[in-house]
Amino acid sequence: YPLPCTGMDPATTSKSNHCLDAAKACNLNDNCKRLRSGYISTCSRELSATEPCSRRKCHKALRQFFDRVPGEFTFRLLFCSCRDPACAERRRQTIVPSCSYEDKEKPNCLDLRGACRADHLCRSRLADFHTNCQATFQSMTNCPGDNFQACLGSYAGLIGFDITPNYVDASTTSITISPWCSCKGSGNMEEECEKFLRDFTENPCLRNAIQAFGNGTDVNLAPKI
């Protein structure tokens, strides 16, 4: 089946991968380069020994990047397909997770959702995500209206908010996405919490959308099936 360009050649696999190609495409576009380096420099700027970065400023710069740079660049960086761990680690590093994602402790997912819902923009982005990435078993793609783009766009729309999702590891075989939270300490809301978390971690629509984008099979999908 169709695989896009480079990856096939064994001589280039060590130095070339789709995530590196995506970074190149961004660096060669003035707007993408400017806003990418905008969030990278903000998110990797150390403030003091106790405070590794300003998360608030980092999130703002990330939102600007995903709002102002076209999906043809941002999606390639976020959803590039990988065959080796170096590539997958680069993909995981896209949002500078040490600043934008990870924290000393993992809050409860329902608390995180509550914090998101208190912000009107985060609340509406999360609602978009639930609408557009809602797993359905009535279609081959598992996505509402077989619309991968809408799901990927809603996913990218969450980056830079409290609920920022990311790849949990650098695995090339299985893609697992999650916000930085757990369902420990949910009390009698355990089931509700797990259901919310599974929309990220075990969502066949989201997983198929990411894989199809990486394989270059997301274009004109409907007629093929």
List contacts with other proteins (CB under 8 A).
Answer: 15-16, 20, 23-24, 27-28, 30, 33-34, 36-37, 40-41, 43-44, 86, 89-90, 93, 96
Minimum distance from CB of 33 to other proteins (Å)? 6
Provide the 8-state DSSP code for 47: -
Closer CB to other proteins, 9 or 30, in the complex = 30
Minimum distance from CB of 159 to other proteins (Å)? 16
Closer CB to other proteins, 5 or 28, in the complex = 28
Nearest to 20 by CA among 110, 81, 70, 101: 81
Q: What angle do CA 28, 32, 35 make, to 5 degrees?
A: 135
* Cβ atoms < 10 Å from Cβ of 174: 8
Closer CB to other proteins, 33 or 117, in the complex = 33
Round to whole Å and give the CA distance between 152 and 90. Answer: 19
Closer CB to other proteins, 93 or 108, in the complex = 93
Beta bridge partners of 225: none
- Contact status, residue 147 vs residue 221, Cβ threshold 8 Å: no
Minimum distance from CB of 97 to other proteins (Å)? 10
Minimum distance from CB of 34 to other proteins (Å)? 5
* Cβ atoms < 10 Å from Cβ of 27: 12
Residue type, 187: G
Closer CB to other proteins, 55 or 123, in the complex = 55
Minimum distance from CB of 77 to other proteins (Å)? 11
